[in-house]
Amino acid sequence: MAKCEVCDKGKHFGMKVSHSNRKTNRTWKPNIKKVKVNIDGTSKTMNICTRCLRSSKMIKAV
């Protein structure tokens, strides 16, 4: 679910590092929004990251 349908951005994995330098696994998820988008004159609901919306790669349907 946490994947952009435009740029294919998904989860990233890494380590959470505490003040005492102990390391545990964690994930970073992209900011995904469910948006109605105009594609070839028809509206379609897509999961798009906010960076793609902000950069006008997809235009929201009115």
Residue 61 pLDDT:
86
All structural domains of the chain, each given as residue ranges with its CATH number in brackets, are 1-62 (2.30.170.40)
pLDDT, tens digit, 9 for 90 and up, residues 24-57: 999 999 999 999 999 888 999 999 999 999 998 8
Q: Which residues have a Cβ under 8 Å from the Cβ of 17 and sit 6 or more positions away?
A: 23
Q: Which residues have a Cβ under 8 Å from the Cβ of 27 and sit 6 or more positions away?
A: 11, 12, 13, 14
Residue 51 pLDDT:
94
